Structure formats: structure tokens, C-alpha cells
Amino acid sequence: GSAVTVSEGYRFVCWVDANGSEVGTDAEYLPSRGDDGLWHSGTYTANIVPIGYEIAFDANGGEGEMDNMQMTYDVPANLTKNAFMRIGYTFQGWATEPEGDVAYEDAQEVVNLTAEDGGTVTLYAVWEPVVFTVTFVMPDGTVLDEQHIPYGEDAAAPENPTMEGHDFIGWDCEFTNVTDDLTVVALFEGVPVMTGSTYGKTGGSDAGMFAGITALLLAAGGTAAYGVRQRRRGEREDAE
């Protein structure tokens, strides 16, 4: 008789004779006896094949769909290119657990991720938030503080600045839920604020800027009018 030993990543299917005909599916094979009681001689071969498994892709906080990959043990293949998206984040690669580090790069060649026949290996997208710069400045553009804030998080106001002869009354815009580079200008009673384009960065919203200017004009008794408007990056600055 014969017994088969199967290597990891493979499975036994059956025994076949010299003609390729299946003669048994048990791991141990004992040839049959003839009418004369003697064992039939012959060559019998174990049919052993590599296992098959799947790779599943988890967006892990992102959006979109990706089909599972069908894999065969000992046969390398490139991972399907990432099709998930996540606003405010960049894709870094694939991890083997939701909070894990990158184990495989996008479209990397992989092989033998599991030896379980019919198993499923799940890979999780790894995301890194885009980081924006929030710059706090004085009305003349002097930088008070510069912070690097991940997408959707809040900046923290620096210590209230001072200006001789003028009271600090706040900041010209909100700096919570940051989704872009931002310039935040300190507001002082009776002091005009230069346009955001003067600082070379995208500043607060028009609404925030005009609210600040309104406060300044009120503080000045409405006797002065300043041609102040927040400009977005790349916008032409015309004379007011």
C-alpha cells in the first residue's frame, strides 16, 4: 500500500493509476487483490494540487468597492490597485489588521498569504491625514505662530497678542475643522487688517474677514473705511 504526505499549501485529491484513472480518495491506498488472492501490481500516483484562497479588501474608513482576488498557493500575483478614497487622507498601503502598519504597498506582488484551503485574507487600507498649515499673524503680517494640523482637526490659538495702544478683540476667522491652509489674523480695536494675499497664504473666510472689519469700523465709530477683503490663493489683487 501507499500513504501520502501533503506539504503546506497543498491538498490531496485522489490516487490515479498509470492510465490516469482515479482509483481511491483516501490518503492511504491499498491495491485490490486478484481472484487468485495476489495483490495487483502497478504504479499509483497521488494527485496533489495547491490550495486556493481569496484576498478581500477593506476600505477601513474610506469609500468605494473592490472585488476579492482569487489566489492559488505558490502562484504570485499583484494586489489589485487601490480603488478606495477617503476625503482629507492619502492612501499609504495595506495592513493585515484595522489598526496595523503598512504590510503591503499598493499593487505589490504577493504570494502565499495563507495556507488555508478556501480561506480569506482581509487587507485593510491604511490612511494618513493630509496636514495643513495654520498661521497666526499680526495685522501687519508678522507671524505669531505656525501650526501643522491634520485634516478635520482644530488649531489652537496662541497666547493673545498685544499691540501698544490697542486692545486685542479676537481673530478674523474660525480655525476649527481645518480643511485647507489657513492664515488667521489678530484683530485689534481701531487697527485695519491687510488682505490675506499680503501673507501669501489662503486666509479665513470672507464672512470671518468682513465680521472682523465690521468690528474695527464700529470700534472706530464708522469714520474710516478700509478696502479690505480676503483673497484666495491665485486670485488677482486689484486696486481697491
Whether the CB-CB separation of 181 and 204 falls below 8 Å is answered with no
Secondary structure (3-state) at 123: strand
pTM of the entire structure? 0.68
Between 132 and 21, name the one with better pLDDT.
Answer: 132
Secondary structure (3-state) at 216: helix
- The CA distance from 190 to 193, in Å, is 10
Between 195 and 109, name the one with better pLDDT.
Answer: 109
Average pLDDT of span 57-62: 98
Q: Is the dihedral of CA 66, 70, 74, 78 positive or negative?
A: negative
Q: What integer pLDDT is reported at residue 205 of this predicted model?
A: 41
Q: What integer pLDDT is reported at residue 22 of this predicted model?
A: 84
Query: Which contacts (CB < 8 Å, 24+ apart) does range 107-111 have?
Result: 107/78, 107/79, 107/80, 107/81, 107/82, 108/78, 108/79, 109/76, 109/77, 109/78, 109/79, 110/55, 110/76, 110/77, 110/78, 110/79, 111/74, 111/75, 111/76, 111/77
- Local confidence band at 26 (pLDDT 50, 70, 90 cut-offs): confident
User: Hey, what's the cell of 84?
Assistant: 478606495
pLDDT in tens, 114-150: 999 999 999 999 999 999 999 999 999 999 999 999 9
Kindly write down the DSSP assignment for every residue of 29-46, as one continuous string.
E-PPB-TTSPBPP---EE
Per-residue pLDDT at 238 exceeds 70:
no
Q: What integer pLDDT is reported at residue 32 of this predicted model?
A: 67
Per-residue pLDDT at 17 exceeds 50:
yes
Nearest CA to 138 out of 180, 95, 175, 168 is that of 168
Whether the CB-CB separation of 52 and 70 falls below 8 Å is answered with yes
pLDDT in tens, 173-195: 999 999 999 999 999 998 886 64
Give the chain's mean pLDDT: 82
pLDDT in tens, 62-95: 999 999 999 999 999 999 999 999 999 999 999 9
pLDDT in tens, 199-215: 434 444 443 444 444 44
